[in-house]
Amino acid sequence: MGPVDDSFDLNLAAATLRSNSGDVRILLKALSAELASTLGERLRVEYAGGRFRKSDVIARVTIAMGNETFEAAIEGPALRCSVGHSSGGIRIRSEALGVDEWIVRLLEALRSEAAHSESARRALENIVIGGPQ
C-alpha cells in the first residue's frame, strides 16, 4: 500500500473502535497497544492504583503529536477527552471533545504523520482497516 490518502474513512474507524470497545478501559488499552511502538515516548500511559498498589488498568493516556497533545482520562464509567494546542512548547489552550471526535482528531494527526512515517502508516492501517490485508 502506498501513502495514506483520503480513502481512510476516519469517522467510520472511530465508530468501529467505539463499537468494538464498549468499555472505555478496553478502548484505551487497544489504542495504547496499537500506538506504543509507533509513538514511543510520545505516548504516556498512567495506570490506576497508587504508589503501593500495582495495576494494569489504564487511568489516563497522553499522546503528543506535533503541536497537539491528546489526553483521555477515565473518570468513573466515562472517558474525558481533550486536545491541548501548543506553540513554542507552551500550551496555549485546551479543548474538551467527545470521545468520537477525539478519536477522529487523533487518527487525523496520525494520518498526517503517516505521510512520512512507515510505522505510523502501519499503525493507522491496523486501526482503520484491521491490519494489513
Q: Tell me, letter by letter, the H, E, C secondary structure of the chain.
A: CCCCCCCCCHHHHHHHHHHHCCCHHHHHHHHHHHHHHHHHHHEEEEECCCCCCCCCCEEEEEEEECCEEEEEEEECCEEEEEEEEEECCEEEEEEEECHHHHHHHHHHHHHHHHCCCHHHHHHHHHHHHCCCC
Q: Does 66 fall in a domain? A: yes
Q: How many domains does the chain have?
A: 1
Q: What pLDDT is attached to residue 16? A: 54
Looking at the chain, the whole-number percentage of residues with pLDDT higher than 90 is 25
Q: Does 4 fall in a domain? A: no
pLDDT digits (tens, 9 = 90+) for 104-120: 899 888 888 877 777 77
Q: Does 3 fall in a domain? A: no
Instruction: Using pLDDT thresholds of 50, 70 and 90, give the confidence band for residue 129.
Output: low
Predicted TM-score (pTM) of the model is: 0.75
Instruction: Using pLDDT thresholds of 50, 70 and 90, give the confidence band for residue 4.
Output: very low
Average pLDDT over residues 76-82: 89
Q: What pLDDT is attached to residue 108? A: 87
Q: Does 88 fall in a domain? A: yes
The boundaries of the domain holding residue 102 are: 10-49+56-128
Q: What pLDDT is attached to residue 28? A: 84
Q: What pLDDT is attached to residue 2? A: 42
Q: Does 84 fall in a domain? A: yes
Q: Does 45 fall in a domain? A: yes
Q: Does 133 fall in a domain? A: no
Q: Does 5 fall in a domain? A: no
> What average pLDDT does the chain have?
78
